[in-house]
Amino acid sequence: MLSLHTRITHADAVEALLVLPYEQREKCRLRATLASGEDVAVFTERGTVLRDGDLLTGEAGRVVRIVAAREPTYLVRCADAHALLRCAFHLGNRHTQAQVGDGFLRIRRDPVLKAMLEGLRACVTEEDAAFEPEAGAYGGGHRHGDDGGRNRLAPIPLRQKIHRPHDPA
């Protein structure tokens, strides 16, 4: 099985595509299937989010591009920026993951949230779209290392070392 654990910033050739919904792109250990049908194991540090277009590789040297899968979402638009800001505030107050775009918000489908947003006079439409929510203020966001374009996402061993507060530094 192909193992992927290192993010790279560019590649001369991409050998495969890994299409994943957001829920799977935020997992630190994942067994998935490439678009070609080949099984793959992905190992990332806890808190890493794979974004559409990211390139991953492993010991085999093969390069795989991450593709954000289309998934059920709501597109939220408002008559003005103030109304959209109010919607974003209320979604954040409910700890709802949201994608912020130029004049819109995108969230996962949830009828309760849809009713709330419509109560705030938002126009909420269903769509199947790639979902790329904000990383969060403390999430560290999306970054690439400066180590020659290679950014190890997680230790290679299959067993994850767990740090406990009483462990020596």
pLDDT of residue 169: 57
Q: How far apart are CA 71 and CA 73, in angstroms?
A: 6
Question: Quick check: do 2-68+136-152 and 70-130 share a fold?
Answer: no
What percent of the chain has pLDDT above 70?
A: 80
Domain definitions of the chain by residue range: 2-68+136-152, 70-130
Residue 23 phi/psi, 5-degree rounding, is -55, -35
CATH of domain 70-130: 3.30.70.790
Residue-level pLDDT at 45: 84
**How confident is the model at residue 145, as a pLDDT?**
43
Q: Which residue has the tokens 């993010």?
A: 7
**CA distance readout (Å), 73 to 20, 34, 114, 125, 158:** 15, 23, 10, 8, 34
Check residue 156 and give its pLDDT.
Answer: 45
Distance CA 110, CA 80 (A): 23
> pLDDT tens digit string along 58-112?
988 999 999 999 999 999 999 999 999 999 999 999 999 999 999 999 999 999 9
pLDDT per residue as tens digits for the range 145-159:
444 444 555 544 444
To the nearest whole number, what is the mean pLDDT of the chain?
86
pLDDT band per the 50, 70, 90 thresholds, residue 46 = confident
pLDDT tens-digit readout, 104-140: 999 999 999 999 999 999 999 999 999 999 987 665 5
Fold of 2-68+136-152: HSP40/DNAj peptide-binding domain (2.60.260)
Strand partners, 165: none
User: What is the rounded average pLDDT of the residues 29-35?
Assistant: 95
pLDDT reported for residue 143: 45
